Amino acid sequence: MKKTLIVLLVIAAGGVLLMGPMSHTAEGADKKGTVQTICPVMKGPIDKTVYVDYKGNRVYFCCQDCMQNFNKDPEKYMKELRKDGVIPEKAPEDHSKHKRGK
């Protein structure tokens, strides 16, 4: 009886581990947010080489024109991203101004 119970528990635990994440979420995001795949300006697919770092978040665009439009009124487009349930990824921290120790 104990062997059967142990085997069932091991199988159940293995099944849970094999399932992996249930949704595609940004690192550190709550389970309701998703990673950005759509340009907040034109609603087309993003190009990962076209982005701006805004208030600690990296926001991607489909083209340079959309990035320029975003820079004119960033909060308007951040509101769109939030409305769509998108959690922008965190921008890398800039350490270039830190003093280096000896």
Span 55-88, pLDDT tens digits: 999 999 999 999 999 999 999 999 999 999 999 9
Buried b (16+ CB within 10 A) or exposed e, 53-63: ebeebebbbbe
What region does 60 belong to: left with phi over 0, alpha with psi -120 to 50, or beta? Answer: beta
Residue 23 has pLDDT above 50, yes or no: no
At 64 the three-state DSSP class reads: helix
Q: What percent of the chain has pLDDT over 70?
A: 66
Mean pLDDT value of segment 7-20: 57
With 0.85 as the threshold, say if the pTM is over it. no
pLDDT tens, position by position, 28-51: 444 467 999 999 999 999 999 999
Tell how far CA 28 is from the center of its chain: 8
